[in-house]
Structure 1
Amino acid sequence: MPVKNRSIKTFYNHKCMQPNPYRIFWDLEILTEKLTPEEKMKLTSTERLQMHKPYGYCYAVIRMDSSFNYEIISHNLYKGSNALEKFVKRIEGELLNIQEDLSAQAEIIMAPGDLKAYNEVTECWICKKSFLKPLSEALQKFEEAKHRLLEVIEWEASMREDHPEKKKIQKEYQEALSGFNCKIKDHDHISGKYQDPAHDTCNK
C-alpha cells in the first residue's frame, strides 16, 4: 500500500522537460522478396520465407521553438536502389546541420517590462524553487577560480600561446560558477525570446 508522504515520484531532470528543438519524421518503404534456394541452404534452424529489402524512404526535418512554432527546414524523398545506404548518409548530413545550427544560439530578445519582471521574480520558473543567496564558501571558491582564469588570460596574452592548464582552469571556473546556482535570464535558443528567470543549473 502507498505510504503517506512517501508515495510521490518527482522528476528532477528539468532540462529533459523542455521541448526538443528538432524532430525528424521518417519512413522506409520495404519490398519482400522470396529467398533463393541458395539463401535457404545457409539457414540453420530458422525458417525464413522472404527477405525484406529497402526500396525507398522519405523524411522531414522540423525545427520548433519553445512556443511550439515550427518550420520544415529540410525534406527528401527517394525510391530506388541502395535506399538504406542513401537514407543513412542523408540523415548523418542532417545531424551535422542540426549540430551546427544549435551551436549558434540566438541572442536574447527582451520585450518592454521583461527586465522589471525579471528583477521582481523570486523563484525559478522551471523547478519552482526560490533563488537563494550563495554561501560565502561558494563565493570564495568562485573568486579564486576567477583569479586563476585571469592569470591564464594574461599569460596567454604575453606568451601568445595556449596555457598548458587552460582547459583544467576553465573547467574549475565553470564548476565554481555553477556552485552559485544563481538567477539567470532563460531564453529560447531558437527564437531568442526571453522566457523567465531560472536557476543556472536548471537552465543547463
Structure 2
Amino acid sequence: EKMKLTSTERLQMHKPCGYCYAVIHMNSLFNYEIISHNLYRGSDALEKFVERIKEELLNIQEDLSASAEIIMASGDLKVYNEATECWICKKSFLKPSSEVLQKFEEAKYRLLEVIEWEASMGEDHPEKKKIQKEYREALSGLNRKVKDHDHISEKYRGPAHDTCNKKLRIGSFETK
C-alpha cells in the first residue's frame, strides 16, 4: 500500500533480516582487542539481536564489576611510599589542615552513630543518605594518597590523590 508523506512515498515497511556486531576491549595502553562478535541472518533477527545484546551486557557488567587486585612490580611499593606528587595532576600530596581533619572525624562519628542506630532499631536511619554523603565529602576533602590502578588489567599506574583517581573512572557499570 502506498502512503503519501510530503514528497516521499512509503513503499514498504523495513523488516530487519540480519545484524552484525563486535564487542571491543581497550586496555590501559589504548590497544584494542575483539572480545566477542556475532553475525546473524534470519527473519527473527531483531529478537535475536536484543537477546544477544542482553547477554553481552551481562558479561560486560560481570567483567567490569569484579573487584580488581593491584599488580605491583618489584619496587613499586617503595616508589609509592616515597612519592610526593600525584602522577595524574602532578600536584603535591599535602597534609590536610586541622579543620579538614575535624570535619572528617565529625562525619565519621555521625556515620558510626547511624550504623549503631540501624543495628539496634532494625531499619534504615531516616537521614542515612545525607550522612553518608557528608562522610564521602569529608573523606574526599582529605585528598588521601591512593594506589591508582587499571581495574581491567589490574596493573598499578602510580600514586594519586583520591579525588584524581576517582575522576579517572570510566563510569558506572550498572544498567537497569
Residue type at the aligned position of 2:8: E
> Can you list the C-alpha shifts for 1:44-74, whole angstroms capped at 9, x where unaligned?
2122476654321122223343144665433
Q: Does 1:171 align with 2:138?
A: no
Query: 2:20 maps to which residue?
Result: 58
1:135 maps to 97
1:147 deviation in Å?
0.7
Classify the secondary structure of the residue corresponding to 1:115.
helix
Residue identity in the other structure for 2:60: I
Per the alignment, do residues 161 and 45 of structure 1 end up closer, same or farther by CA in structure 2, a change over 3 Å counting?
closer
Structure 2 residue 60 is the aligned partner of structure 1 residue 98: yes
Tell me which protein shows more helix as a share of its residues: 2
2:4 to 18, 43, 58: 43
Q: TM-score, normalised by structure 2?
A: 0.78
Residue 176 of structure 1 aligns with an amino acid whose one-letter code is A
The match for 2:79 among 92, 113, 117 is 117
Runs of 4+ in 1 over 6 A off after TM superposition: none
Match of 2:113 in 1: 151
**Is the contact made by 2:4 and 2:10 (CA closer than 8 Å) also made in structure 1?**
no
Pairwise CA RMSD of aligned residues?
2.4
**Unmatched 5+ residue regions in structure 1?**
1-37
Aligned pairs, number: 165
The Cα shift of 1:144 comes to 0.6
Partner residue, 2:169: none
Gaps of at least 5 residues in structure 2 are: 167-176
Of stretches 132-141 and 85-94 in structure 1, the one that deviates more from structure 2 is: 85-94
Q: Percent identity?
A: 79
Distance 1:115 1:70 in 2: 29
